[in-house]
Amino acid sequence: MSIRLIVPTSEHIPAILVYKNLFLESLEVIHGSSQLVLAETGEDWLEQIDRNRSRETVAPEYVPAEQYIALDDETGEVIGMLNFRKSLNDYLYNYAGHIGYSVSPLRRRQGIGSEILRLALPEAETFGIDRVLITCTDDNLASAGVIEKNGGVLEDKRVDPGDGELTRRYWIEIKK
> How far is the C-alpha of 78 from the C-alpha of 8, rounded, in Å?
10
Region 80-100: what's the mean pLDDT? 96
Predicted confidence at residue 108, as pLDDT, reads 85
Predicted confidence at residue 176, as pLDDT, reads 59
- Asked if pLDDT for residue 144 goes beyond 90, the answer is yes
What angle in degrees, to the nearest 10, is found between the helix axes of 13-26 and 42-51?
A: 100
DSSP annotation of 54 reads: S
- Asked if pLDDT for residue 87 goes beyond 80, the answer is yes
Predicted confidence at residue 80, as pLDDT, reads 96
Element (DSSP H or E) covering residue 155:
strand 153-159
> How far is the C-alpha of 103 from the C-alpha of 72, rounded, in Å?
12
- By CB neighbour count within 10 A (0-12 exposed, 13-18 middle, 19+ buried), where does 101 fall? buried
Query: How many domains does the structure of the chain reveal?
Result: 1
Q: Where does the pLDDT of residue 175 fall: very low under 50, low under 70, confident under 90, or very high at 90 and above?
A: confident
- What percentage of the chain has pLDDT greater than the value 70? 99
Which tens digits make up the pLDDT trace of 2-33?
999 999 999 999 999 999 999 999 888 899 99
Q: Where does the pLDDT of residue 155 fall: very low under 50, low under 70, confident under 90, or very high at 90 and above?
A: very high
Predicted confidence at residue 52, as pLDDT, reads 96
Please tell me whether residue 101 adopts helix, strand or coil conformation.
strand
**CATH number of the domain residue 167 falls in:** 3.40.630.30
Q: Where does the pLDDT of residue 110 fall: very low under 50, low under 70, confident under 90, or very high at 90 and above?
A: confident
Contact (Cβ atoms closer than 8 angstroms) between residue 65 and residue 32: no
Region 66-92: what's the mean pLDDT? 95
Contact (Cβ atoms closer than 8 angstroms) between residue 172 and residue 130: no
Predicted confidence at residue 130, as pLDDT, reads 94
Q: Which domain holds residue 92?
A: 3-173
